[in-house]
Chain A
Amino acid sequence: MPSASPSASVVVAARDVLPYVDDLVGGLRRNAADDVEFVVVDDASRDGTRERLGDLLVHLPNSRLIEHPEPRGLSAARNTGLAASSGEVLLMIDGDDWTGPGYVAGLVRAMATLGVDFVKTGHVLEHGGRRTRVLPPTGAIGRPLVPRDHILPSHRSTMVDFTYAHSSAYSRRLLDAGLLHFREDFRTAEDRDWSWRLMLGADSLAAVDVPGYFYRRGVATSLTSIGDERQLDFLGAMRAIREILSRDPQGDDFMPKALRTEFALVYSHHERRRRLPQHLRDRMRRESQELLRSVPTPLFTSVARGMGPRRAAFLAMRRAGAA
């Protein structure tokens, strides 16, 4: 086991988060150390975020600001930051979130002692002072696990569903193997196929209990609240997951799990369809129907039936072209 503490890079992706920049950089400052570098990527903010970041990062040791001249999305911003990083351990933070003291050091220590490809910890969901804890969906805390053993079962949330790129730490090995790269054509749901690639491609992971990541919900600029075509990127992400699984030796075992997530997303997007304009609703209906039809009937029936009568009925109707 390595004894010296490995160096760490903290990659921050920010866009139009001016009200939160002071908290963000304050939290980074509380995690500053000789062997921790901060790579902050501004994705062409228009609200003064970049200027404020520039002012504050001057006083943060081992930090630098990278600017996208044109907005390229969260995935691209993370990719830019990861490409520019040099640490052995990599962390990601979103620009509207913040961290408490000991967070980076705790994850780096966990990586060093456990010797795994990546570790995932919980976070605190923050909504105007009201907070909720979100924890990794496993009780096996603090010991190395084989990622493939923690994908199933389908009917429960597992590590593959715990898709948060933040509140985790990754070995540079994963970046070099191309497993940390985010697909930039997915502007939402970008973490879905990413999580599958990571779980299938990495050799080891550990769930750990390192507190200190605060994830702000209800932010106005948050993509989940925007009703445009970016919402439909989940369809592409689902196709990508199926493709990944089609090439995997255990793909047939995992397919019901992936389909269940996919079906659940189709249903929940249908429920929230009113935020979308008519032509996007039409497109969503068409493409989700194609997705459902491409699943062999026995497999479709067994997955849908496990999701309860209400969702199963909707999915069958959508597949038949009646919903």
Chain B
Amino acid sequence: MTGYHHLLECSTPFGLLTLAAMADSGLLGNGPEDRTLLVVSTTPAPESRRPFHEDPVFARALSRFGRVVDWNSLVAPWHPRHWCPAPADAVVLERLLRRLLQVDEDDLSLVVESLHMPPSRTMATIFSTASVTVYADGLMIYGPTRNDLPESITGRLARLVMLDLLDGVRPRLLHEHRLPLVDLPFDAFRAVVQELVDHSPDLPAPASGTAVVLGQYLGQLGLVTTAEEEEQHGAMLRTAAAAGASRVVFKPHPAAVGDPRRGLGVTAAALGIEVEIFDSPVLAEVLVQHLRPVAVVSAFSTGLFTARALQGCRVLSHDTGAFLRRLAPLANSNRVPAAICDATVESWDETTGALRAPLLPLERPADVQRLVDAIAYCIQPDLLPELRGAAEQMAAEQPDILRRSVPAPRLFHLGLPGGHPGTLWVRRLPAPVLDAVRPRVPGIARRRAQVGRLAAPLVRRLRSTRAVRP
């Protein structure tokens, strides 16, 4: 898009690299003077950490942007995840912010990460006439739109820019708005990563037989306890060993708390492999491109898929199915990334002590597309009715795979094969009662109307069982 001034939201190093690659690919105007980077930190206590972009390692990536503005300082003392002005204030703030940022161009382009919440939502609200580009911050774009967006924003949606990490599988984020997809060239992204490889001091030395293990902050997401997380780390080492690694570079998640060293040493000694802990804000993609490892292991990190797509690495996961079962609510935005990883990545089975081939190999993208579509439909049937066919097909033909991501009561309430209404006492209800609560037409609003007010408490009860039983 030329002739525009681009306001670019950036909250992670991965986002910064994506934006830099977009700039290099000509997707963001002609030069730095056309771009203003709005850097945001959305961690729970952002004031207590130095913003990532102040690390000199990112200086070259930042050189694409004529101006770099710290959004947190602009909205201080409020948290950028929560602050959004009232419409009456937004009009004044737009005028003031345009003056402050010196963007008085009529043609303003806003490039953001995830429109369903602040700060992206806040920016789209304030810059009320800007065209809106969404760029992928990982696998979450394969999941459906979290909340329906107001027409005042969707009417301005211009494009969705993404790395095609799944060999042509189409994302379902904002799918209902028929948004043009723009593929970010892999070469451009690799070139930006290479800049960081060349300018990151203290990267571990490449060696044959090296695997990379990417820790995740599942403990902080409340998905596992610290003890389980440590056990998980041990299992990831066994996975790497099973893939033939003799040395493991373990990269803890930058947001993770606690000491990853606990538990790793003992496991490594038992396996006879060497472990190096690389606790650094350096991106997983940088580490992988530098090391060219024999394998990359993680729970469901986007890093697995960038390693596979960009570097052609063998990737493995461990026990992603267990996380999937615990994820709540259904619309948890980690569900689709975890489901993709669970289905498409070779995994380590702790009980058999062997590697398990993927259920849906990525070599057959149409199968993966069907899974993505089926889950997206189950989460957002009202937004994505045209994906019902995929869901029906999946539920009929590969129910075991779908059921790993979508609980049976949900399938039941959507009238899909393979579902049941939940707990045993409910299943024992007389058939006419069950028929009454089972919707004939999908759609929560219409279902309410059909079942009627008297049955509503029962429906709520039934729907609440989702969280109890997988």
Contact = CB atoms under 8 A, between A and B. Distances in A.
Interface of A: 19, 22-24, 26-27, 30, 55, 98-101, 124, 126, 129-131, 133, 211-212, 214
A144 B78 CA distance: 29
Interface in B403-426: none
B79 A98 contact: no
Nearest to B78: A131
A130 to B, nearest CB: 6
Residue from A19, A23, A27, A30 having most chain B Cβ neighbours under 10 A: A23
Q: Which of B49, B50, B76 has the most CB of A within 10 A?
A: B49
Contacts, number: 46
A99 B49 CA distance: 10
B256 to A, nearest CB: 10
A23 B257 CA distance: 10
Contacts of B82: 129-131
Interface stretch (B40-48, B321-329, B392-400, B450-458): B40-48
Interface string B345-379: 00000000000000000000000000000000000
15 contacts: A19-B257, A22-B257, A24-B48, A26-B49, A27-B45, A30-B50, A98-B45, A98-B48, A99-B47, A100-B47, A100-B48, A126-B79, A129-B79, A129-B81, A131-B79
B77 A129 contact: no
B259 interface: yes
Nearest to B47: A100
A24 B257 CA distance: 13
A248 B77 CA distance: 40
Given A55-B259, A130-B82, A30 B77 contact: no
Nearest to A28: B48
A133 B77 contact: yes
B77 A26 contact: no
Contacts of A212: 47
A55 B44 CA distance: 21
Given A126-B45, A211-B76, 17 more contacts: A23-B48, A26-B45, A26-B48, A26-B49, A27-B45, A27-B48, A30-B47, A30-B49, A100-B48, A101-B47, A129-B79, A129-B81, A130-B79, A131-B77, A131-B79, A211-B77, A214-B47
A110 B48 CA distance: 22
From B76, B77, B82, name the one whose CB has the most chain A CB atoms within 10 angstroms. Answer: B77
Interface string B78-111: 1101100000000000000000000000000000
A202 B257 CA distance: 43
A22 B48 CA distance: 9
Contacts of A22: 48, 257
Contacts of B48: 22-24, 26-27, 30, 98-100
Contacts of A23: 44-45, 48
B72 to A, nearest CB: 9
Contacts of A55: 259
A214 B47 CA distance: 9
B44 A129 contact: yes
Contacts of A99: 47-48
Contacts of B49: 26, 30
Closest 3 CB pairs of A and B: A100-B47, A26-B48, A27-B48
A33 to B, nearest CB: 15
Contacts of B259: 55
Contacts of B47: 27, 30, 98-101, 212, 214
Interface string B57-90: 0000000000000000000111101100000000
Nearest to B83: A131
A56 to B, nearest CB: 11
Interface string B1-24: 000000000000000000000000
A136 B315 CA distance: 56
A118 B5 CA distance: 49
A101 B44 CA distance: 16
Contacts of A98: 45, 47-48
B154 to A, nearest CB: 26
Contacts of B76: 211
